[in-house]
A and B are shown apart, each in its own frame.
Chain A
């Protein structure tokens, strides 16, 4: 090393030097509106109607650089995930989804940026490490550098629903049959990772919510009524369909990091038709099943790094 400073941890990994950009606390994002939904299938009133629900809280922060966001749960029993991060000018927006439908206990979002992007401070004591240009900072002890306390790789299970397997499509039901037989809740589906640094008081985490899944159950019903001597039969069709879109989400427990799922959107559609129509006969007869934006599957299911830190250092 021709210049600068280098610090290593017990494993010999470099923690601070003149090339590694360390993250520094730039502030907590400001919470705005929220959207709560999907405690059940919208428009459906039959069996297996319950879903886990979700609230999306919208946050913003204005800062230079690209912030890395940490979620500090207020209610550690709920699942959390940042499902969208975007920027307009220097204002960053975060859509943070948590399980359940209660808008109480929203999480706090702690944001970290490179040392050079942190606003200047009047603090006169500390240590600054510069790049080789002598002006760009990689580390500044005066502006709360991020201290990572743990981390590993985590991945949600491939099947998000409490009922196992793809629910699929079935035929041969009676006309107008519309009874959901698949449990689309996802609270029991997660992989847990042991991490002795996690507590449910101060721990916050950062982990991308990349995996998505869409599951659908569809039931086709049919009845036939035939006319004179079997001539010219009347077809009756019905289609009932339930679908749920999930995003990967995470939960912190004492000494545990859980990777699982949370419902993002859901729907129910039903169609009953028959040849004939009007209260006294009349058009109709074909049927359609509608279409989802995706076929039922899981995508982007990869092991992702998560990191945890102690939020109390930045309060």
Chain B
């Protein structure tokens, strides 16, 4: 079962499930109407603890729109991402927002996203935006990729986690626990592609030489760093 706390969580099928569409298009009829993972994600913090997980889920019926869903591991909340177009005031790169639902009272709040100036320049030759120079930025980071915020609650600065030495330096700078365990730390150094968010031409080396952008984030509450987390995105063929 993909989700423990989301309603009908057993209708979401992850890669490791025996009911995953391994024999596609000959899928088991009993689960053929379920949601299948296209991408899976995990968010880890505090020595590799799982903060939340979820994924992008599709149905085999192409007329059904996919969903982008996750839940907090403590059962406190779920998040569903939805498109926020640039025409509607959205960001040119991060064209989405997260709708976070508190599972105890069903109240919702929005997590907003924006890309950094440097990321916009790398991806789209844009010169707009900011690199958050007015924030407390760890000097070990080379590329701040963006930020998210929940009004009156918290802000997260995201950076390109190039290797474990950088992530460790960030943890030390903010006096926060490292986000991974030994295994994930090794994977970041040995096979960052396996957990990348996307591949981008970060170093300007041209097509075929894109860098695997692994994303980590520092959460701030009242400008105080409270959490260092790292994101694993898993694809079916990883």
Contacts A227-B236, A280-B70 given; indicate if A272 touches B93 (C-beta within 8 A).
Answer: yes
- Chain B min CB distance to A60 (Å): 35
CA distance A273 to B86 in the complex (A): 10
Q: How far is the CA of A282 from the CA of B68 in the complex (A)?
A: 4
Closest to B57 in A: A281
Check B149 for interface membership: any CB of A closer than 8 A.
no
On whether A281 and B87 interact (CB within 8 A), knowing A43-B128, A270-B125, the answer reads: no
Please determine whether B56 and A290 come into contact, CB atoms closer than 8 angstroms: no
Q: Is the CB of A273 within 8 A of B126?
A: no
Q: Which residue of B lies closest to A274 (CB)?
A: B198
Question: Which residues of the partner chain A approach B120 to less than 8 Å between Cβ atoms?
Answer: 270
Chain A 227-260, CB within 8 Å of chain B: the 1/0 string? 1110110100010100000000000000000000
Given contacts A44-B126, A45-B121, A232-B58, contact A282 B86 (CB under 8 A): no
Q: Is the CB of A44 within 8 A of B83?
A: no
Chain A 26-83 residues near chain B, CB threshold 8 A = 43-46
Query: Counting CB contacts under 8 A, is B192 at the interface?
Result: no
Q: Which of B56, B82, B86, B87 contacts A276 (CB 8 A)?
A: B56
In the complex, which of the residues A179, A240, A269, A283 contacts B83, with contact meaning CB atoms closer than 8 Å? Answer: A283
Q: Does B103 contact A (CB under 8 A)?
A: no
- How far, in whole Å, are A115 and B84 apart by their CA atoms in the complex? 62
Q: Is A17 part of the contact surface with B, judged by Cβ < 8 Å?
A: no
Q: Which of A275, A281, A286 is packed against the most chain B CB atoms within 10 Å?
A: A281
Within 8 A of B (CB), among A135-178: 174, 176, 178
Q: Answer yes or no: A271 CB below 8 A from chain B CBs.
A: yes
Given contacts A174-B207, A232-B38, are A280 and B43 in contact (CB under 8 A)? Answer: yes
CA A44 – CA B129 in complex, angstroms?
12
Chain A residues contacting B113 (CB-CB under 8 Å) are: 278
A273 (CB) vs chain B CBs: closest residue: B95
Does more than half of chain A's interface fall in helix, strand or loop, or is it mixed? loop
Output the least CB separation between B49 and chain A (Å).
16
CA distance A46 to B126 in the complex (A): 8
Q: Is the CB of B81 within 8 A of A282?
A: yes
A281 touching B68 in the complex, CB below 8 Å, given contacts A228-B21, A231-B60, A271-B86: yes
Whole-angstrom distance between the Cβ of A174 and the nearest chain B Cβ: 6
Knowing A44-B127, A270-B126, A276-B56 are in contact, say whether A283-B82 is a contact too (CB < 8 A). Answer: yes
- Total interface residues on A, using CB and 8 Å? 38
Cβ–Cβ < 8 Å partners of A4 in chain B: none
Please name all residues of chain B whose beta carbon is closer than 8 Å to the beta carbon of A44 when the two chains form the complex.
125-127
Cross-interface CB contact of A280 among B54, B95, B125, cutoff 8 Å: B54
Q: CB-CB < 8 A to A225: which residues of B? A: 235
Which residues between 255 and 314 of chain A lie within 8 Å of chain B, taking CB atoms?
A: 268-286, 288, 290
A232 to B121, CA, bound (A): 30
CA distance A216 to B99 in the complex (A): 37
> Are A238 and B21 in touch, CB under 8 angstroms?
no
State whether A284 touches B95 (Cβ < 8 A): yes
Residue in A174, A281, A288 whose CB lies within 8 Å of B39: A281
Contact between B158 and A279, CB atoms less than 8 A apart: yes
Known contacts A227-B236, A234-B38, A279-B158; A284 and B81 CB within 8 A of each other: yes
Residues from 35 to 86 in B contacting A, C-beta threshold 8 Å: 36, 38-43, 52, 54-56, 58, 60, 62, 66, 68, 70, 79-86
Q: Are B83 and A285 in contact (CB under 8 A)?
A: yes
Q: Which of B101-138 contact A (CB under 8 A)?
A: 113, 120-121, 123-128
Closest to B93 in A: A272
Q: Are A270 and B233 in contact (CB under 8 A)?
A: no
User: What is the interface of chain A, defined by CB distance below 8 A to chain B?
Assistant: 43-46, 174, 176, 178-179, 225, 227-229, 231-232, 234, 238, 240, 268-286, 288, 290
Can you list 25 A-B pairs, Cβ within 8 angstroms, ordered by A?
A: A43-B127, A45-B125, A174-B207, A178-B124, A228-B22, A228-B24, A228-B237, A232-B58, A269-B86, A269-B92, A271-B92, A275-B56, A278-B81, A278-B98, A280-B41, A280-B197, A281-B39, A281-B54, A282-B80, A282-B81, A282-B98, A283-B82, A284-B96, A290-B86, A290-B87
Additional A-B contacts beyond A282-B96, A288-B86 (5; CB < 8 A): A231-B21, A240-B124, A280-B42, A283-B96, A284-B95
